[in-house]
Structure 1
């Protein structure tokens, strides 16, 4: 018969208690219910993210749209912008378990001081229970997945003063910058996301181009605006006349003859 001293008994009790705590902690430990969405954007760019949820797989419940509004990050991007957004994966609304389905993204940048002097383009992240292996985003050992795009400014004139306005055009690219079809896009499965980081990396094309063809002529140092029939001609297509040009007004109010340098 083995007899333990009081000191040994105390050590055994302590060990047993430690084992219990370890077991409880291990059982309680679970995957995070969030992931981080972030973006690496050109200077003076910002994104807005709207996150949409649907009933979890196997759930028969539904939630009215008014009770399942999409959380929005950076909706006041002109005043305050934060590149990191913490996205919940599972939520419950009106007693219905929901999972994240997609993130609708706006890429925004202002080019002038007027309220309407900004460009906007879209991007998307979708989340599914299952995806083909080649369709899934790939995560690094550090837990980060990056998808890519390139934006370019398209310029045109509008109004009686032929004021410059710009359109933002963004396309998906690969990691080497090769342009693809469609807008910046990524897809993931739910089980890929807990505790991870998804990053949208956008570059800006070095040159701008006209919003549509046969309205500007490229010359040394920039572009000149075709006159068209007269200065009041809003479309002002060149129609083969590449010698008669008009002035135009920059967003900052300058009257110019060549874009983007203003003066030749």
Structure 2
């Protein structure tokens, strides 16, 4: 579940609470579930729970945000997410949880990016529909990969985060006081963001000059240097052969 639009964000602007048309708002008793798991080094997570009302309360909504920030070591997180909220006479139901996975690959402000996913909350509307839905997963395991490229803006190597398996469809009636485990691992092998723009050798990846009017390598390839970490390099990730 990948958003085709990927960009670095200013960290302080990431987290906020969005509230529309709500007053005297509060979660309903013990009607919550736990979202928990493990994050790799230099990863962070934001979960954004979206609530909506019935037809009589269609103008009411609520967004609740949960976050776990970066750490220099692998670290766990645990969010207690309400399944419903009371807003006056309206009971708002959880409809989805947006997931934003942030990765940091350097100390500079621009050396962080994100990918996203989603947990969809579906009701048990009928026995037949319920029978056709998968059961609540014991755990969800997402794998994140780093895709590298030459950054024209920063004149260095920049990276894009691609996380697969970040999502599930959950039955609302199975959630109350339950725990859903969502953990992340990092693929140790980085890949180029665009195919046929770098060529792999035993010692790493070499960038090549493109064909005229194209992004792909010439044939036969003509290799070039690139800059990374303020150095002139011939191969990635080791810089020199």
The TM-score, its normalising length taken from structure 1, stands at 0.70
Specify the SS of the correspondent of 2:173. Answer: helix
The reply on whether 1:258 has 2:230 as its aligned counterpart is: no
Q: 2:175 aligns with which of 193, 198, 201?
A: 193
Q: What's the secondary structure of 1:153's corresponding residue?
A: strand
- Give the Å deviation of 1:237: 3.1
Q: Identify which of 54, 60, 75 aligns with 2:56.
A: 60
Residue 107 of structure 1 aligns to a residue in which SS?
strand
Q: Which residues of structure 2 form unaligned runs of 5+?
A: 1-27
Structure-1 residue corresponding to 2:20: none
- Tell me which structure has the larger Cα radius of gyration: 1
Equivalence map 1:75-90=2 (5 Å): 77-78=69-70, 83-90=77-84
- Structure 1: give runs of 5+ residues left out of the alignment: 1-29, 140-144, 173-183
Structure 2 equivalent of residue 245 of structure 1: 223
Distance, in Å, in 1 between the alignment partners of 2:201 and 2:159 is 20
Q: Is the 8 A contact 1:226 1:236 kept in 2?
A: no
Q: Matched residue pairs, number?
A: 208
Q: Compare the two structures and name the one with the higher helix fraction.
A: 1
Q: What corresponds to 2:199 in structure 1?
A: 217
- TM-score computed with the length of structure 2 as normaliser: 0.76
Q: Residue in 2 aligned with 1:7?
A: none
Report whether the alignment pairs 1:170 with 2:166.
no
C-alpha separation between the residues in 2 aligned to 1:159 and 1:234?
17
- Are the counterparts in 1 of residues 43 and 69 from structure 2 also a CA contact under 8 Å? no
Shift of 1:82: 6.8
